[in-house]
Structure 1
Amino acid sequence: MARSTFAKSVRTAVVAAAVLGLAAGAGAVLIMTRVARTVVTPVRKRPQNQSIRAVDLDAGTVTLRETPDSSVPGRYGLWFAEETGYAKIGGVISREDGSVTRTLESVAFGDLRPGRGRISGYYYLEPSELGLPVESVTIDTELGEAPAWLFPPDDGPGDRWVIQVHGWGATRQEGLRAVRTFHDQGYTTLLASYRNDGDAPNSADRRYGLGGTEWHDIDAALRYAEDHGATSIVLMGWSMGGAVVLQTITRSSALGLLRGIILESPVIDWIDTLEYQARMLRLPDPITQGALRLIESTWGGPFTGQAAPIDLTSMNFVARAADLSLPTLILHSDDDGFVPSTASRALAAARSDIVTLVPFATALHTKLWNYDEERWSTSIAGWLSEHIDVDAPTAAESTEAAEAAG
């Protein structure tokens, strides 16, 4: 989920609504509408919210204005010149006078110079950068063909697969940094696209379902994997992709294939997440609750553009913890700043029998790999070895066992 993009979109919506809606009642409705539409509308253009203050190509350094994103250790992507240029940046060299100087690893394209930019967790942009076997494939969904990237093990596709699901405002590029971790464990990795993400076909309303509609496309990815030899599948969701994964494992009929799930900075409770974001933006609670009602109500469609309401309450998987049965790994940073780790911690506490939580302290949102690749990768590899690659039961078998015990 694109943290700065969402925040700027909501701030813009609030300012515009305040200007346009001078009458108190009409203004409140307008603000609610703009906020609700921001939540469910896919974003294409992301704000250049970082300031590039100096570039030294000979020394291999770039200096940025000090912000939480520019200051966190690790390696990242840096978009610049209105997204026409891209560079890779490494660790922090120094901090002084409100500026942060980092290693400039490479400039992929564009003319990097002082100006505006945006830090990205993607790091890799193209599958070829990984130096691994890869194939571009298409998955037949109910809306048409959705493109995907398939990374088989060195000896060809096997029966153990991981399907990655990207987040809000993101694309399948989000999961490229995770491929090596799964490849080293002998897994085939499928990076899927889903409706309205700019790669897969759009739905008629061109709106996010926050997991409530996107899961159909991941269900199709499960069928694709099964048709190509998969017998053991792990689903991995990033941010909103976590909500999509949770919808998939509780609504798909392909439970016989699933062995476990991995959730990175996940949305586990949409209401908790959206209320947190509203507090961060200092929105009045009546505006927040009104926006949530618009998203959830059948009469809200003309305001939000949704073809159908979204049942946010049913997407609270802390409350629905008993509905879960698969081994689950959650990686979440307590300073996430966009999706709070509270629901991840609550779910881990409620279902300690199946949930393993790996908490980070200062890695921000969906940047845990970037911050500490070794810890991130070894946590996943260890969890796979302990919980999945030991003849773990499928989701269907886990459900049957739980029902028999109950």
Structure 2
Amino acid sequence: MKGLKKLLFFIISSIGVFGGVFLFFWNMAKKIQQPLRRQITSVPSVPYENIEFPSKEGIVRGWFIPSKFEETPPLIILCHGWGSSRDTVYRYVDRLHEEGYSLLLFDVRGHGESSSVKALTVKTFRDDIISAVKFAKSRKDIDTNNIGLLGHSFGGFGSILSLSKGNTAKAIVIDSSPIKFTTIMESFLKQKKLPTYPLVPILTKFIFMRANITTRETKEDLDCIKALENTRTPILMTHSINDNFVPSSELEYIKSRVKINSFYVKSDGHRDSQSDPDFWENVIPFFNAHLSMRSKNFISEEKNG
């Protein structure tokens, strides 16, 4: 009888411990997947339009900035990173707007003023980017055959993955993007001053579990290398060698596996690539070359203006 009681006590204790550990990691994953919303603290200094469009079960909100020229121009969609909002990518706007592009900035669901999501992942970024391109193609005030995309960090990660899920953008620039899920988790844990092992593999599994992402899906739909190998869309990638959050070794990882156009900058931190002159010296010619920017009418307007 005593042996049975000991066995029952052991079983109940084990269940309690297991349940406590499970709940700890579940709540930790939940916290990671619900970043604090960054409030919109500024608006464009040039004319803009508030916009919104559907994406999956939610609504995405953002800004449309028309070109400074009257002709229907190419459009570049700007996508922010994890825990940011559309006004954080406004740093790209002045140079691109001066070049004559129309621009679309939006808050990924779970960010800014867009709808909430239960379990935010890179899939959310991927799906909202696809929805943004679809929305852009419905407008009559842009050249819908010439849409570009510039994604920063997780916005870049989602942009790459969207290539295999119907993204019809004509040219894509990827700025400071993570590529591997392990890198993302390591960066987050280091920022919180937590040990990476064994937390990285455990938390990654819980994050996928909360988002109903299967192992098969991670191999087939969430693989950046596979997406880049199978696309014909022109891609240009950049990363700062001084990035203190997502290391530039992510770009090295890509280059060791896929032939890709790329360059490095020397700006400080994770969100300042555009401050390096080399950034625009590479990005502007790339977009101009692939988005048919210099039509005859456009050149005429630009010279006369």
Q: Distance in 2 between matches of 1:136 and 1:276?
A: 34
Counterpart residue number, 2:155: 241
Residue 246 of structure 2 aligns to a residue whose secondary structure is coil
Q: Determine which of 180, 183, 194 is the counterpart of 1:272.
A: 183
Distance 1:202 1:151, change over 3 A: same
Question: Aligned AA for 2:165?
Answer: R
1:127 aligns with 2:15: no
> Any idea what the Cα deviations from partners look like across 1:146-196, whole Å, max 9, x if unmatched?
322111111236241111111111111012111122223321111122211
Counterpart residue number, 1:41: 34
**Contact conserved, 1:149 with 1:190, CA < 8 A, in 2?**
yes
Distance 1:142 1:315, change over 3 A: closer
Counterpart residue number, 1:137: 51
**Per-residue deviation, 1:43:** 1.5
Residue 318 of structure 1 aligns to a residue whose secondary structure is helix
Counterparts in 2 of 1:282-297, with a 5 A limit?
Answer: 282-297=194-209
Counterparts in 2 of 1:156-195, with a 5 A limit?
Answer: 156=70, 158-195=72-109
**Contact conserved, 2:186 with 2:196, CA < 8 A, in 1?**
no
Q: 5+ unaligned residues in a row in structure 1: which ranges?
A: 1-22, 46-82, 84-121, 392-406
Counterpart residue number, 1:216: 127
**Contact conserved, 1:151 with 1:189, CA < 8 A, in 2?**
yes
**Per-residue deviation, 1:316:** 3.4
Distance 1:337 1:319, change over 3 A: farther
Higher share in strand: 1
Question: Aligned AA for 2:107?
Answer: S
**Per-residue deviation, 1:284:** 4.8
1:379 aligns with 2:291: no
Residue 201 of structure 1 aligns to a residue whose secondary structure is coil
> Any idea what the Cα deviations from partners look like across 1:237-288, whole Å, max 9, x if unmatched?
1111112212222112x53xx2111111112222333235446635151222
Residue 285 of structure 1 aligns to a residue whose secondary structure is coil
Counterpart residue number, 1:364: 269
Q: 5+ unaligned residues in a row in structure 2: which ranges?
A: 1-15, 295-305
> Any idea what the Cα deviations from partners look like across 1:209-243, whole Å, max 9, x if unmatched?
22x13333322221221121421111111111112
Residue 54 of structure 2 aligns to a residue whose secondary structure is strand
**Per-residue deviation, 1:388:** 4.2
**Contact conserved, 2:80 with 2:154, CA < 8 A, in 1?**
yes
Q: Write out the 4+ residue segments of structure 1 that deviate beyond 4 Å after TM superposition.
A: 23-31, 310-314
Aligned residue pairs: how many?
A: 272
**Contact conserved, 1:269 with 1:318, CA < 8 A, in 2?**
no
- Structure showing greater relative contact order (alpha-carbon pairs closer than 8 Å, 6 or more residues apart): 2
Q: Distance in 2 between matches of 1:277 and 1:202?
A: 21
TM-score normalised to structure 1 length: 0.59
Counterpart residue number, 1:155: 69
**Contact conserved, 1:331 with 1:360, CA < 8 A, in 2?**
yes
TM-score normalised to structure 2 length: 0.77
Q: Determine which of 182, 190, 213 is the counterpart of 1:309.
A: 213
Distance 1:295 1:388, change over 3 A: same
Counterpart residue number, 2:236: 329
C-alpha RMSD of the superposition: 2.9
Q: Distance in 1 between matches of 2:242 and 2:86?
A: 24
Counterpart residue number, 2:257: 350
> Any idea what the Cα deviations from partners look like across 1:284-334, whole Å, max 9, x if unmatched?
51222111111223xxx3xxxx4x236545433135541232111112112
Q: Distance in 1 between matches of 2:240 and 2:24?
A: 31
Once the two structures are overlaid, the 10-residue window that deviates more, 275-284 or 228-237, is 275-284
**Contact conserved, 2:147 with 2:291, CA < 8 A, in 1?**
no
Q: Distance in 2 between matches of 1:145 and 1:273?
A: 26
**Contact conserved, 1:126 with 1:173, CA < 8 A, in 2?**
yes
Counterpart residue number, 1:108: none
Higher share in helix: 2
